[in-house]
Amino acid sequence: MKIKENFMLRKVSDTYVVVPIGSAVASFNGMINLNEVGAFLWQQLEEENTFDNVLQTMLSKYDIDEATAKSDLERFISQLEEANLLSR
């Protein structure tokens, strides 16, 4: 799975924002605000990656139990899919 092309993550002050660029501007209006963990997950998905690999990377970076991390990652991926931002 991977974030679709033409979306850019930027840090603005203490907030991370995702904005559409290029051809994505026509099909996606607005921007997405992410916290630090959301930005980390987004970065993991900017290149082709697997769920298990992202989960393991998340567990090595953050002090979180596996069940909570898995649930949070599933929710994040679901939200990306609902917004049509993820390609599989």
2-83: which CATH architecture?
Alpha-Beta Complex (3.90)
**Dist. CA 48–CA 2, nearest whole Å:** 5
Going from N- to C-terminal start, the domains of the chain cover: 2-83
**Dist. CA 33–CA 63, nearest whole Å:** 23
pLDDT in tens, the chain (88 residues): 999 999 999 999 889 999 889 888 888 877 799 999 999 999 999 999 999 999 999 999 999 999 999 999 999 999 999 988 998 7
What's the predicted TM-score (pTM) here? 0.90
Contact indicator for 62, 37 with CB cutoff of 8 Å: yes
